[in-house]
Structure 1
Amino acid sequence: MRISTVTMFESSLSSMNRQQSDFLKVGQQLATGRRVVNPSDDPQAASRAVSVSQSMALTQQYADSRVTAANALSQEESVLNSVSDGIASAKTLIIQAGNGTLSDADRASIAAELRGVYENLLGQANATDGNGTYLFGGYKDDAPPFVKATDGSVSYKGSDEGVREQQVDASRRMPVGDNGKTVFEGVPSGAGYVASAAPGNNGSVTFTGPTRVDAADPGYGDGYEVSFADNAGVLEYTVTNTTTGNAVPGHTGVTYTAGDSLEFGGLSVTLEGAAQAGDTISMAKAEDRSIFTTLENAIAALEAPTESAKARAALQNTLSTTSRELDNSLDNVLTVRASVGARLNELDVLDSVGGNRSLTYEQTLSELVDLDYAKAISDYTLRQVGLQASQKAFVDIQGMSLFDRL
Structure 2
Amino acid sequence: MRISTLTIYEQSMSSLNRQQGSLMQVSQQIASGRRVVNPSDDPQAASQAVQVSQALAINSQYADARIGARNALAQEESVLNSVSDAIGSARTLILQASTDTLSDADRASIASELRGIYETVIGQANATDGNGRYLFGGYQDSSEPFVRDASGNVNYVGDGNNRAVRVDASRLMPVADNGEDIFRSVHSGAGYVMEAAAGNQGSVVFKGPQVVDDNDPAYGTAFDITFSVSGGVTSYSVNGGAVQAYEPGETIRFGGLSVTLDGIPADGDSLQLDRAENMNTDLFRTFEKALTVLESPSATDAATAARKNTLSSVLREFDNSLDNVLTTRASVGARMNELDVVDSVSGNRSLNYEEKLSGLVDLDYVSAIAEYSLRQVGLQAAQQAFIDIKGLSLFDRM
TM-score by length of 2: 0.95
Distance 2:4 2:301 in 1: 131
SS in 2 for 1:158: coil
Q: What letter corresponds to residue 265 of structure 2 in structure 1?
A: A
Aligned-pair Cα RMSD in Å:
1.6
In structure 2, give the amino acid aligned to 1:357.
R
Instruction: Give the Cα separation in 1 of the matches to 2:10 and 2:68.
Output: 64
Aligned-pair CA distance for 1:390: 2.5
SS in 1 for 2:258: strand
Q: Please list, as runs of the form range in 1=range in 2, the aligned pairs for 1:264-279 lying within 5 A after superposition.
A: 264-279=254-269
Whichever residue aligns with residue 259 of structure 1, its letter is G
User: CA offset at residue 297 of structure 1?
Assistant: 0.7
Provide the C-alpha distance between the structure 2 equivalents of 1:2 and 1:229, rounded to a whole number of angstroms: 134
| 1:241-320 equivalences in 2 (<5 Å) | 246-247=240-241, 252-287=242-277, 289-320=281-312
Q: CA deviation at 1:296?
A: 0.6
- Amino acid paired to 1:107: R
**Hey, what's the Cα distance between the residues in 1 that align with 2:388 and 2:147?**
95
**SS state of the match for residue 194, structure 1?**
strand
Partner of 1:243: none
Q: Which moved more, 1:271-280 or 1:175-184?
A: 271-280
**For the residues of structure 2 that align with 1:43 and 1:10, how far apart are their CA atoms?**
30
CA distance in 1, matches of 2:224, 2:369: 92
The DSSP-based 3-state class of the residue aligned with 2:286 is: helix
Which residue identity does 2:225 align to in structure 1?
A: V
Aligned to 1:131: 131
Q: Which residue of 2 aligns with 1:39?
A: 39
Q: Which moved more, 1:367-376 or 1:11-20?
A: 11-20
How far is 1:385 from its partner?
A: 2.1
Alignment of 1:1-400 (within 5 A): 3-160=3-160, 162-240=161-239, 246-247=240-241, 252-287=242-277, 289-398=281-390
- The amino acid that maps onto 2:321 is S
**1:253 positional shift:** 2.6
Distance 2:55 2:66 in 1: 17
* In 2: Cα distance, 1:218 partner to 1:111 partner: 41
Deviation at 1:80, TM superposition (A): 0.8
Kindly provide the amino acid, as one letter, of the partner of residue 10 in structure 1. E
Percent of residue pairs identical: 61
AA at the equivalent of 1:271: L
Q: What's the offset of the Cα at 1:163? A: 1.4
Aligned counterparts of 1:224 and 1:195: Cα–Cα separation in 2: 9
SS at match of 1:129: coil
Structure 1 counterpart SS, 2:131: coil
Q: Which amino acid aligns with 1:30?
A: I
TM-score by length of 1: 0.93
CA distance in structure 2 between the partners assigned to 1:89 and 1:253 by the alignment? 42
What count of residue pairs does the alignment treat as equivalent? 396
Cα drift, residue 11 of structure 1: 2.5
1:316 shift after superposition = 0.9
How many angstroms does 1:400 deviate by? Answer: 5.2
